[in-house]
Amino acid sequence: MAKRRRGLSFYNREKRLNKKVLREIGTWVFWTFAMALLAFVFVFCFGIRTSVIGVSMEPSLYNGQEVLINRFAYFWVSPKAGDVVVFLPNGNENSHYYIKRIVGVPGDTVLIQDGLVYVNGEPYEEAGVYDRIEDAGIAQAGVTLGEDEYFVLGDNRNNSEDSRSSNVGVVKKDYIIGIAWFRLPENETSMGFIE
């Protein structure tokens, strides 16, 4: 009787992939691809972030604070009064993003008189309490918004370069990048959705 040697064996057994293993591999490939696609869509639509530059949106947003931009929000609906939007002034690609609050939408007439904002002849109803405006800028005589034009103001009304300024003026819808929807934590109390 021959003794079997222990040690290395160079005998190669033919291995076969059965249907169960192929199905498992296919499932892993499918879900990996699906998750990568979902992550790409999420980042493309909601993951752009920018920093607030200056004090024009205080007390809502602070200088240096980072916010997430929802670019998907305005694909099917138009911006509305009260939205905090991110835009490029005059569509200038070389400028930094501006973040302001919409007070006038297409067809509205915005007038600033005696420190108060009037839209279509009525005092503008705002959720927050804002300082009386010292400089009405181009809105002193009233600004009637055309199709796809928006009038924006910073929450810090007396320290904001916004639609009152002739070098910003009204904001066309094409210049709006998206809505600022979430503020990233600057400190433990500053994280959350933007109102």
Contacts of 54 (CB under 8 A, 6+ apart): 63, 159, 160
SS3 per-residue string spanning 32-57: HHHHHHHHHHHHHHHCEEEECCCCCC
Q: Locate the DSSP E strands across the chain.
A: 48-51, 66-70, 84-87, 98-104, 109-113, 116-119, 122-123, 143-144, 149-153, 171-172, 176-183, 192-193
β partners of residue 66:
51
β partners of residue 49:
68
Point out the catalytic residue in the list 3, 9, 15, 56.
56
d(CA 174, CA 91): 8
Point out the catalytic residue in the list 15, 78, 80, 100.
100
56 is catalytic: yes
Locate 10 and state its tokens: 């160079």
Alpha-carbon distance values, 153 to 70, 156, 189 (Å): 20, 8, 25
80 is catalytic: no
CB-based contact 83:102 (threshold 8 Å): yes
Q: Which residues are catalytic?
A: 56, 100
